[in-house]
Chains A and B, each alone.
Chain A
């Protein structure tokens, strides 16, 4: 079974890997590129732990083939902070204790970032529905929603 050479951009860096065409983008990120921040919770697009953006669109990387990343722009949790400068969402998640086990956290942060780029001033309901595809089993979502709303407020203030 022949592998396919894939050249793509991940978090701004050009990378190459050899993918079996059956492998998901998540498999390729984790097993070929060593980017294990994106998690597999279900493999069926139901949990959102593998959330990344592909050319700016939020997707489940378990529902994208690795070979489909050819020539695309992929952004993962590993690219969210700028060096040691955390994204406001990351800071607010820590301040609000919005994580317990932390397994769903990377996917939720990537998804929330995509929301705030599109909708800088979301309502609680908008945040809840946007994140409905990101399962968290520890927190009951309360502190996650508060952290996202607080980060949005801070980012709006900075932008103003």
Chain B
């Protein structure tokens, strides 16, 4: 295996484009190293992105939006008070990935590119309306986060393309987000179901909302019917019930070692209600 440490994303894309065999990018490495160790993936070329300037930075733009480097680990997100204040749901999603030790390494970009339908950080990003900057052999482009997953273990990135930054929109006023997942233990498991809710209030009424569901379909995706169920409401009992029903209706899960179809579906509704309540109270500044 060849180990590369390019100093620009362009070089990284060139290396990946030129490589003939199995290629993997290394950011946090918490998925890639596990796959290598298990013999599931035996890369011919491993491209370590952590030497590229800026990949460890969290920067707020003039418009209030955020640019998060692709090697920023979960622990660093959690330690960034201003980012946590703006996007607590995004940060708590990332902070649920693995242990304290994994938090020292695992990244948003890695969690996204691993392509898992159960990735804990992705629903929060999708609900937040985050985008990614993609560098490829033909330059850079950007895309909404929800366009990256292509089914279990797959992404829509073309050969030689890689994510070069995660971009969060400006939070704005009276907004709040939250992410909840269900796992059998209190820590260390992969989500059996997950839900992120991002909303903006006008007075007590929800003016805008985005809801994303995880681990209940082949891809993490927006659930527009969930958003519709709560927009224009004050998140009263009827709205919560409608949200619960919409979340269940949006599920197309599988039975596997982590959960059943019936369980995932029912719990997705529960999580949607609970996450919406948290997002709502955050939006009210409570």
Q: Residues of A at under 8 Å CB distance from B? A: 1, 4, 21-22, 24, 43-46, 48, 51, 54, 57-60, 62-65, 67-68, 111, 114-115, 129-134
Contact = CB atoms under 8 A, between A and B. Distances in A.
Contact of A63 (B2, B34, B75, B186): B34
Contacts of B186: 129, 132
Nearest to A135: B188
Range, interface on chain B: 20 to 34
Given A24-B33, A62-B37, A63-B29, A133 B48 contact: no
A43 B99 contact: no
B95 to A, nearest CB: 10
- Residue of A22, A111, A114 most packed against chain B (CB within 10 A): A22
Given A21-B1, A63-B29, A67-B3, 7 more contacts: A21-B2, A45-B30, A45-B101, A46-B99, A65-B46, A115-B100, A133-B99
B188 A132 contact: yes
Contacts of A129: 186-187
A48 B36 contact: no
Given A58-B104, A63-B30, A45 B99 contact: yes
Contact of B46 (A21, A58, A63): A21
Nearest to A40: B37
A21 B26 CA distance: 12
A62 to B, nearest CB: 7
Contacts of B37: 24, 43-44, 62
A46 B2 CA distance: 27
Interface of B: 1-3, 26, 28-30, 33-34, 36-38, 46, 48, 50, 73, 75, 98-102, 104-105, 186-188
Contacts of A64: 29, 33, 105
23 contacts: A1-B1, A21-B1, A22-B36, A43-B34, A43-B38, A45-B34, A45-B101, A48-B99, A63-B29, A63-B34, A63-B102, A64-B29, A64-B33, A64-B105, A65-B46, A65-B48, A68-B50, A111-B101, A114-B100, A129-B187, A132-B186, A132-B188, A133-B98
A48 B73 CA distance: 17
Contacts of B36: 22
A130 B99 CA distance: 8
Contacts of A62: 33, 37
B198 to A, nearest CB: 25
Contacts of B28: 63
B105 A63 contact: yes
A22 B99 contact: no
